Amino acid sequence: MTYLIVRLATLGNVAMTVPVIASLSKRYPNDRFIFAAKKDLASMFASMPNVSYLEVDNHLDWKGVFALWRTWRDKIDAVIDLQDVPRTRVLRGLMRLSGKRVTSVRYGRFQKHLITVWGIGKRQLPSEFDRYRDAFSRAGLETNDAFESLPVNGTAAQTITERFGVKEGRWIGLAPFAKSKSNMLPYRVTKDVIELLTKDPDTHVFLFGAGQIECEMLRQWASVFPRTESVAGQLKLKEELELMRQLDVMICMDSANQHLSGLVGLRAVSVWCATHPMIGFQGWKQRPEDIIQRHELRCRPCTCHGTNHCRYGNFACRNIDAETIVQQI
């Protein structure tokens, strides 16, 4: 059978599907899976022989929805929607009218709304991985949690060695940014972390990020601190993954780099500010003891994915000192 799997949106969202898709690929080698997601992320699925990556616009408009339907309605047997937004619901409806079997993810948005907006029913919700597995199970596809790491990409690994040399001492990654203010530490704290880490002459720090402003800021920080290098905007995704594979640890926010670390078996010390692991976005097989957060704040979590607004105006959830993070390292 041929399955169309749809998961639009961000890098982190797509990265969270990889362990589940890898399980499907191994368990059903005679089936074909077409994964439709945003551009430039195909390298995460390159090692799966029966998975084809279909690049679509992240902001898929209605014209694109109908084009996707017309192109694939006669080539697939079933659709699994891992996005569940109005555009993908229309696509599901069209596919169902075309006689295709359709399944969608159950995100539990009402439960999440109660927790983040009203503070009601705070408890550990199913992880995104569990929700994806449930969607595939209802489509008749069983998965497991055997995934440990993506295989080494030899070409990308060679590029990393040529650029940064053979690893000596301790290599630490730091991804200090996120899309929302509520998901990031204050800049001064991040710079204090770098300063503390680079006091050790055997420690080399790599700064990860994306976007023009982030890249320029990280470049400036790298010029100030010794043995610190910014790779933001300098590497392809497959090369970033191979660099991560050589790191000893990644320091990151609740962001995409937490999930990318899990894809190469890298231990990540993740900092959660306004968000909370109970919502279900903890990285693949990341350790609970490596999560840093303000447990005593009753207002957390106030958002699922991040926000630029604080109901109290002080963003107290971001008040985490550099020493706490370095101590965890």
pLDDT of 310 above 70: yes
What is the mean predicted confidence (pLDDT) over 48-64?
86
CA-based torsion, 39, 139, 72, 69: positive or negative:
negative
At 238-268, the pLDDT tens digits run: 999 999 999 999 999 999 999 999 999 999 9
In whole numbers, what is the pLDDT of the chain averaged over residues? 94
What is the mean predicted confidence (pLDDT) over 121-146?
96
pLDDT of 46 above 90: yes
Q: Quick check: 129 and 167 in contact, CB under 8 A?
A: no
Q: CA–CA separation, 197 vs 227, rounded Å?
A: 10
DSSP character string of 238-293: HHHHHHHHH-SEEEEESSHHHHHHHHTT--EEEEESSS-GGGS-PPTT--GGGEEE
DSSP character string of 68-87: HHHHHTTT-SEEEESS-SHH
pLDDT of 191 above 70: yes
At 108-119, the pLDDT tens digits run: 999 999 999 999
pLDDT of residue 27: 96
- For residue 51, give the H/E element and its range: strand 51-55
Paired strand residues for 249: 172
pLDDT of residue 58: 67
Minimal CA–CA distance to 29: which of 48, 10, 12, 14? Answer: 48
Q: Quick check: 77 and 1 in contact, CB under 8 A?
A: yes
Sheet holding 170-175, edge to edge: 228-230, 203-207, 170-175, 249-253, 268-272, 291-293
Q: Is 76 exposed, middle or buried (0-12, 13-18, 19+ CB in 10 A)?
A: buried
pLDDT of residue 317: 97
Q: CA–CA separation, 226 vs 204, rounded Å?
A: 8
DSSP character string of 111-177: HHHIIIII--S-SPPPPHHHHHHHHHHHTT----S----PPP-HHHHHHHHHHH-S--SEEEEEE--
Domains and CATH numbers, the chain: 2-138 (3.40.50.2000), 154-328 (3.40.50.2000)
Q: How confident is the model at residue 129 (pLDDT cuts 50, 70, 90)?
A: very high
pLDDT of 60 above 80: no
pLDDT of 39 above 90: no
Minimal CA–CA distance to 199: which of 173, 225, 224, 167? Answer: 225
Q: What pTM was computed for the model?
A: 0.94
What is the mean predicted confidence (pLDDT) over 67-86?
93
Residues with Cβ within 8 Å of residue 222, at least 6 apart in sequence: 207, 228, 229, 230
- Residue 180 gets which letter from DSSP? S
pLDDT of residue 9: 80
